[in-house]
Each structure stands twice: as structure tokens, then as C-alpha cells.
A and B are shown apart, each in its own frame.
Chain A
Amino acid sequence: ELQLVESGGGLVQPGGSLTLSCAASGFTVGTHDMSWVRQAPGKGLAWVASFDTTGGTYYADSVQGRFSISRDKSENTLYLHMNNLRTEDTALYFCARGRGDCDDRTCYPLLVNWGQGTLVTVSS
């Protein structure tokens, strides 16, 4: 059964660091696009970062230079390394497995399967 389980969230002070994990089962993280998406309290969803099957990484402007996405194929786990955290990073963080939705020219990154999320609170 396909499953994504996030962990690593918690309370951290502004300027601090945290690493989120997303343990995958039922598929291999190395063969799919993988993403992190967050939802701040009372707000909508916002894309954070993605890792594609070629090894390319992509980041939202708001986290560029502070967050880093990585994966461990042996552990079948996706990570989000978060540094210099700000209060506005407070959110529920979801990991998601992607699937290329393709026409005759290119493929578009559809987010198919999601975990239940892990809560990050940045506060002094």
C-alpha cells in the first residue's frame, strides 16, 4: 500500500533549524517527483520545494537559500532541511508524490499522493 508519513515537526525558535522527514512505502522515492507543500494556520496551501527524477531541485522564492530538499534512496525517505526559520514558516508541512501529466510536448508535475503532514511552529 502506498503511504507517505511525515515526521520531525515541532517548536523551534526564530533563526533555528529543523529537518523534516517523509518516509515512503509502496513505491521508490527515486523514481518519482517528490514535493513539500505547506499550509499556514488559516491559510491556503503553498508549494515549498520539489525534487524531480533527474535530480533537479526547485524552491519557492520564500525559502530559497534557507531550505534544502534531499532524498535517501536507501531509506526511501524525502527530507526538508530548514535553516534560519522565521515565524512565517509556521505551518503544517505535507510531502507529496508527483506524477508527470503529459501531452505530446511536455509533462506537467501533478501532485498525486499526500501524507497527513507534520506541524512546524516557529516562535520565541
Chain B
Amino acid sequence: DIQMTQSPSTLSASVGDRVTITCRASQSISRWLAWYQQKPGKAPKLLIHRASSLESGVSSRFSGSGSGTEFTLTIRNLQPDDFATYFCHQYTSHSGTFGQGTQVEIK
């Protein structure tokens, strides 16, 4: 299985900050990486697919980059609604694997 290592596990930030979350794959996944936002008791929400393609309706404050084994999710001008858990997902096959998640909390 392809292992996804996500960091940091927790991130403290303030409204208006720019934050970056990283995912590293144990082998190349080209650009087949998605980012999700999850809030307690809610369904995960797809933010970005194919490493950098923003899903329709998602704020342009979210952006993704990377290819191969190194990927980043950047949130600029952090808003109160952005405090949540974010996780990456490599989907090179049905048996895709996930990062452990990053909880973005209010500083």
C-alpha cells in the first residue's frame, strides 16, 4: 500500500493567517491527490482534486500544489469557518490511502 504521511497533526492559527499542510506519499502518485475538510459530526467535504484543481463552490482561499510524492494544501486569510480537520487522499486505485489528518485550531 502507498503510505501517506501528513504534517503537522495539529496547527494553531489565527483568523487572517496563511497556513500550509503537507502530505508525502511513499511512492509517486503523479497528481492523483485530493484534499478534504471535515468538521465534527459532518460529512467530509472535497476541496481539491488532482493536486491543485479546486472543486466547484470552494473558496479560492484554498489552493493545492505538488506532484509525485510531495503535496501541499494552503489556506490563505484563514476564516472562522476554516477551523476544522483536513486530510489528504491518494486515489491511484480503489484501495486509496489517507493521511492521518491535520486539525486546524484557533490560537
Binding site for B on A (CB under 8 A): 4, 33, 35, 43-47, 50, 52, 58, 60, 94, 101, 108-117
Contacts and interface: CB of A to CB of B under 8 A. Distances in A.
Given A35-B94, A43-B100, A109-B91, 20 more contacts: A4-B43, A44-B98, A44-B100, A45-B89, A45-B98, A46-B98, A47-B96, A52-B94, A60-B95, A101-B50, A101-B91, A108-B32, A108-B93, A109-B93, A110-B34, A110-B91, A111-B96, A113-B46, A114-B44, A117-B43
A115 B55 CA distance: 18
B42 interface: yes
Contact of A50 (B45, B49, B89, B94): B94
Interface string B74-91: 000000000000010101
Interface residues of B, number: 23
Nearest to B41: A116
A113 B32 CA distance: 17
A94 B43 contact: yes
Interface string B18-45: 0000000000000010100000011111
Contacts of A52: 94
B97 A47 contact: yes
Dominant SS among interface residues on chain B: loop
Nearest to A58: B94
B29 to A, nearest CB: 9
A18 to B, nearest CB: 21
B12 interface: no
A108 B93 CA distance: 6
A111 B98 CA distance: 12
Nearest to A45: B98
B1 to A, nearest CB: 9
Contact of B92 (A46, A108, A112, A116): A108
B53 to A, nearest CB: 9
A116 B43 contact: yes
